[in-house]
Amino acid sequence: MKNKKKWTKKEINGFKKMILGKRTKVLEEYEASKVRADDMLNSETNNAIYSSHMADAGTDQQEMEKAYYWVARENKFLQFLNRALEMIEEGTFGLCKECGDLINAERLEEVPHTTSCFECKNANKHR
């Protein structure tokens, strides 16, 4: 019978610390992006009232879309990190849901919320 592998408490605590660190950083970036996007939205509204330079407005529009794209991206990343923290609480973190093996630690640093190991992910792709 195959021995069921498990992360040690120490390893899990290490992951938790890593995820919380990432989350703090993303949260700061998210707040900054949000302020930036909202600022742009406000100035855009003002421009629309006080200016008739369509070309300028077009550029602003693009910049604003970019800013909101970052807000959405960071928000999504935050959800992933929260999910990973939930998985730690549930005891499913870092375990492949397909084969039950431990997921490579480097992979977990890149994608903490992942639920499949390299092998299973590749196997799925080729199926």
Q: Would you tell me which residues interact with Zn ion (CB under 5 A)? A: 96, 98-99, 101, 117, 120
CB of 122 to Zn ion, least distance (A): 10
Q: Is 18 exposed, middle or buried (0-12, 13-18, 19+ CB in 10 A)?
A: middle
CB neighbours of residue 42 within 10 Å: 10
- Cβ closest to Zn ion, residue 82 vs residue 124: 124
Closest to Zn ion by CB, 67 vs 96, is 96
Give the shortest CB-121-to-Zn ion separation in angstroms: 8
Nearest-angstrom CA–CA distance, 46 and 44: 5
User: Which is nearer to Zn ion, 81 or 117 (by Cβ)?
Assistant: 117
Least distance CB 86 / Zn ion (angstroms): 20
CB of 108 to Zn ion, least distance (A): 13
Q: Compare residues 34 and 113 and give the one whose CB is closer to Zn ion.
A: 113
- Who contacts 101 (Cβ-Cβ below 8 Å, separation ≥6)? 5, 95, 117, 119
Report helix angle 9-50 to 54-90, nearest 10: 160
